[in-house]
A and B are shown apart, each in its own frame.
Chain A
Amino acid sequence: KNEVEQSPQNLTAQEGEFITINCSYSVGISALHWLQQHPGGGIVSLFMLSSGKKKHGRLIATINIQEKHSSLHITASHPRDSAVYICAGETSGSRLTFGEGTQLTVNP
C-alpha cells in the first residue's frame, strides 16, 4: 500500500468551478507537499504544510494532522490551471514519497 493516496486520478472542470483534490497519508510523514507538473515535465512546488492552512492566490491547501488528510483547492479555475497535481509526503531525511497525481483539465 502506498504511503500517500491521492484522489481523484482525473478531474475535468469548467472554467470558474471550485476544484478540490484530496490526499491521505500514512504514519511517519512529517509534512505534506503539493506540487504542480506541467505537460513539459517541469515541477513547481506549490505548498509545503505541516499544519493548518496556506493560501497563495487562488490556491488553498489544508492539512488535518489527526486525520492524516490534506486537500488542495483551486478557486475560480482557469484553463491555465490544467496540469498534474501531486501530493508528496515527507519522511525522514527530507525524502518525499509521491501520490499518483491528479490530472486536472479545465475547459473554457
Chain B
Amino acid sequence: SAVISQKPSRDICQRGTSLTIQCQVDSQVTMMFWYRQQPGQSLTLIATANQGSEATYESGFVIDKFPISRPNLTFSTLTVSNMSPEDSSIYLCSVSRGGVAETQYFGPGTRLLVL
C-alpha cells in the first residue's frame, strides 16, 4: 500500500490568486495523478505528473492554469492559477506503482473554495 498526505487539507481563496497543493507519498511510486472533483460530481483526471519532465494533461486542462511539478518519485505539486469560483472543488492526488491493473491509492484531498 501507499500512504499519501496532501497539504493544505482545505483553503478559502480569493479570485485571481493561486494556490499550490502538495502531495507526499511514503514510498517511491511510478505514477502520480491529479484529479478534480467538482461539487456533486465524480472525479475527473487533470493530468499525469511525470518525474523529471512536463506533466501530461487531459483534454480541457492546460499547463498555464494547472502547472504541475514532480521533482522526485515521492512528491508532486499542483498549482491552481488565477482562480475563479468555478475552481472550487476537491483536488486529489493518487499514485500507483505502474503497470496495467495496479491498485491506485488516493490522497485525502484538498477542499478549495474560491470566493
Chain A contacts to B: CB under 8 angstroms = 30-31, 33, 35, 41-45, 48-50, 86, 88, 90, 93-101
Contact = CB atoms under 8 A, between A and B. Distances in A.
Chain B: interface secondary structure? strand
Interface residues of B, number: 27
Interface of B: 31, 33, 37, 41-45, 48, 56, 58, 90, 92, 94, 96, 98-106, 108-109, 111
B54 to A, nearest CB: 14
Nearest to B90: A41
B106 A95 contact: no
Nearest to A45: B103
The 5 closest A-B pairs by CB, nearest first: A31-B101, A43-B106, A98-B42, A50-B101, A98-B43
B44 A98 contact: yes
A94 B108 contact: no
